[in-house]
Amino acid sequence: MDDKRYMLDTNTASYIIKGEPVAIREHLLKVPMANVCISAITEAELLRGVAKKPEAKRLAVVVKEFLLRVDILPWDSDAAEAYANLRTACENEGKPLGAMDMLIAAHSVAAETVLITNDKAFYNVQHFLKLEDWTKPIEH
């Protein structure tokens, strides 16, 4: 039984909502949904995407359905502390992340999850994170 916790970054959540690439669905089917989560920061980004496209009624429904089915971790004091440490370490190395990416990365560190992403920015600071890219097909 896989007891790892997987935090989907915003790009990965968007891929799931769109249904592409297919490899992500293969990965998702291999882990219990109880082990999959998103940060409240990703929830905010997904809701922002819906708010920017009020005419996209289907998108609003699909995002809402996704959010009902995935565990959303609240931003808490542990995440805030991880953010302070991670941001300082990244800046000291000259490898800053964008504001939202930094918040998601810190949340993943605080929650001790594997961050699921194909966003290259996270791979610049991968020594601070546990990362997997589910856009790549599973090797059989």
Q: How do residues 36-63 score in pLDDT, each as one tens digit?
A: 999 999 999 999 999 999 998 999 999 9
- Per the omega criterion (within 30 degrees of 0), is the bond before 21 cis? yes
Task: Please state the φ and ψ torsions of residue 113, each to the nearest 5 degrees.
Answer: -105, 165
Q: How far is CA 132 from CA 22, 64, 137, in A?
A: 16, 25, 12
Structure confidence by residue, pLDDT tens digits, 82-106: 999 999 999 999 988 999 999 999 9
Reply yes or no on whether the pLDDT at 1 is more than 60: no
Q: pTM of the entire structure?
A: 0.94
Sequence-ordered list of residues with C-beta below 8 angstroms from that of 10, at least 6 positions apart, any chain? 41, 42, 45, 46, 100, 104
* CA dist., res. 46 & res. 12, Å (int): 11
Sequence-ordered list of residues with C-beta below 8 angstroms from that of 114, at least 6 positions apart, any chain? 4, 5, 6, 7, 108, 130, 131, 132
Per-residue pLDDT band for 140 (boundaries 50, 70, 90) equals low
DSSP 59: H
Q: Residues 60, 28: contact at Cβ < 8 Å?
A: no
The length of the chain is 140
Torsion of CA 61, 16, 21, 103, to 10 degrees: 120
Sequence-ordered list of residues with C-beta below 8 angstroms from that of 77, at least 6 positions apart, any chain? none
CATH number of 6-132: 3.40.50.1010
